[in-house]
């Protein structure tokens, strides 16, 4: 794609910002005949097979992308394989491996898996283990952009404009049009490696103010070239990446995108603009589904999670030079939100009213009745994260009638464990863990 020349703005911005929040307004061969990806409203088909592009999933439950912290050398480990194998054995239709970076500077930190040739053998062992349990497996690919820790990566981070990120104590640089062209090609190359490794689906990360999401956000994207300004310009990078990925992998795998409905802070992407982006992505014809999310790893992480903010535990994971500052602004950076089931549903229904693409509902799905209701209301799939971390066998239990709710209490103590191996402290306590009270 030919890129016009232009000038990018370079406003200085900071990572820990005191922003004001916005309101929550072996591959299995199935013999099951293909069925519609979008269920009939009013009828729950949670445990029936469903179509996702070229794939037939055994039910409508997907393990959401979460970083497991089990790749200390940036490569797949036996522990990471076992994590996804156990979720697959537990009954989900598809598990999502995250976070897979398309470029060295696009890793969140150095322990992130980068999609290079050396990573393929380990990823292939992982996909084979999941397929052996009868489930499918998706690869979440992305570029962290301003969320990347430049100090850990030993590579300068890239953003729509210049900003300061104290996590790595470095300034980002403003992406040039050459960077945008290179990164677009990196997505295509990385998607091809995922297919080579045996993945059934590719999920493109367009959320949480990672690079493509940061370009969508009017707060972070104040460029004056063809990649900034109007929403059409701000969406240009994301749209060309999605098209490039589809062109690279063809029609043999499913391609989905994880899209922010709102950034969760004043001046960020809002629901009206997000719906327009979703309509453009639908018109482009490259996606098989959209997974709907919200929040910002830069400005409001808890908007995604809801529930209690693990301030003390998160602060203990930070480098020593960040801890004093976090004590001052931590409560504003990690806000506690009341937890409720399906907390993104009101926003997601606004997208559903305007978009015909199959939609994946994420956020606060811990009870069987919540998942069933979401499917009955026309969402193609539900994505679950913390509930499955607490109990990988939960979907089997739902189907067997031996459970109707996850034991997850939404304390979010799992969040800080991503740096040492993601776990639920309720079921896998370690020495030094503080008691979880008030549950």
Which residues are part of the catalytic machinery? 210
DSSP conformation class of 15:
S
| Alpha-carbon Rg for the chain in angstroms | 20
SS3 for 253? Answer: coil
Burial readout 358-381 (b: 16 or more C-beta within 10 A, e: otherwise)? bbbbbbbbbbbebbbbbbbbbbbb
The secondary element (H helix, E strand) that includes residue 52 is strand 50-52
Contact 306, 340 (CB under 8 A): yes
Cα–Cα distance between 59 and 36 in angstroms, integer? 12
Give the number of other CB atoms < 10 A from CB of residue 108: 22
DSSP 131-168: HHTT-EEEEEEE--GGGS-HHHHTS--EESS--EETTT
Measured CA to CA, the distance from residue 409 to residue 386 in angstroms comes to: 9
Neighbours of 421 (CB within 10 A): 16
Structure token digits, residue 217 = 């956000």
CA 155 to chain centre: 23
Taking the mean position of all CA atoms in its chain, how far away is CA 379? 18
Alpha-carbon distance of 217 to 50, in angstroms, equals 33
């Amino acid at each position: 794609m030919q890129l016009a020349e232009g000038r990018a703005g370079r406003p200085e911005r900071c990572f820990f910002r005191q922003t004001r929040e916005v309101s929550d307004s072996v591959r299995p061969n199935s013999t099951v005949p293909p069925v519609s990806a979008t269920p009939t409203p009013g009828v729950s088909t949670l445990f029936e097979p469903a179509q996702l592009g070229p794939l037939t999933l055994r039910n409508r439950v997907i393990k959401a992308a979460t970083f497991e912290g089990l790749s200390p050398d940036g490569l797949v480990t036996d522990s990471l394989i076992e994590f996804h194998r156990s979720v697959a054995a537990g009954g989900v239709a598809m598990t999502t491996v995250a976070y897979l970076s398309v470029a060295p500077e696009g890793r969140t930190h150095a322990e992130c898996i980068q999609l290079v040739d050396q990573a393929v053998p380990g990823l292939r062992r992982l996909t084979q283990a999941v397929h052996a349990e009868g489930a499918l497996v998706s690869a979440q690919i992305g570029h962290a952009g301003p969320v990347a820790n430049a100090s850990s990566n030993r590579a300068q981070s890239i953003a729509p404009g210049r900003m300061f990120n104290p996590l790595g104590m470095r300034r980002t640089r403003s992406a040039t049009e050459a960077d945008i062209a290179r990164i677009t090609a990196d997505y295509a190359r990385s998607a091809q490696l995922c297919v080579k490794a045996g993945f059934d689906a590719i999920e493109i990360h367009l959320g949480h103010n990672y690079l493509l999401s940061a370009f969508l956000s009017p707060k972070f994207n104040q460029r004056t070239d063809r990649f900034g300004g109007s929403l059409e310009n701000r969406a240009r990078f994301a749209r060309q990446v999605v098209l490039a990925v589809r062109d690279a992998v063809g029609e043999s795998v499913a391609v989905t995108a994880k899209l922010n409905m709102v950034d969760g802070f004043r001046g960020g992407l809002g629901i009206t603009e997000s719906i327009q982006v979703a309509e453009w992505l639908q018109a482009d014809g490259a996606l098989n589904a959209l997974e709907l999310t919200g929040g910002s790893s830069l400005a409001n992480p808890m908007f995604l999670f809801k529930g209690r903010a693990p301030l003390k535990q998160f602060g203990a994971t930070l480098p020593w030079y960040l801890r004093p500052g976090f004590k001052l602004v931590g409560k504003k950076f990690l806000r506690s939100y009341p937890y409720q089931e399906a907390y993104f549903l009101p926003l997601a229904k606004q997208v559903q009213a305007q978009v015909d693409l199959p939609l994946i509902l994420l956020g606060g799905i811990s009870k069987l009745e919540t998942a069933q209701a979401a499917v009955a209301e026309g969402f193609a799939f539900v994505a679950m994260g913390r509930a499955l971390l607490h109990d990988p066998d939960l979907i089997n239990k739902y189907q067997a009638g031996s459970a109707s709710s996850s034991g997850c209490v939404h304390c979010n103590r799992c969040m800080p464990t991503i740096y040492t191996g993601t776990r639920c402290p309720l079921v896998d306590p370690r020495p030094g863990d503080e008691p979880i009270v008030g549950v």
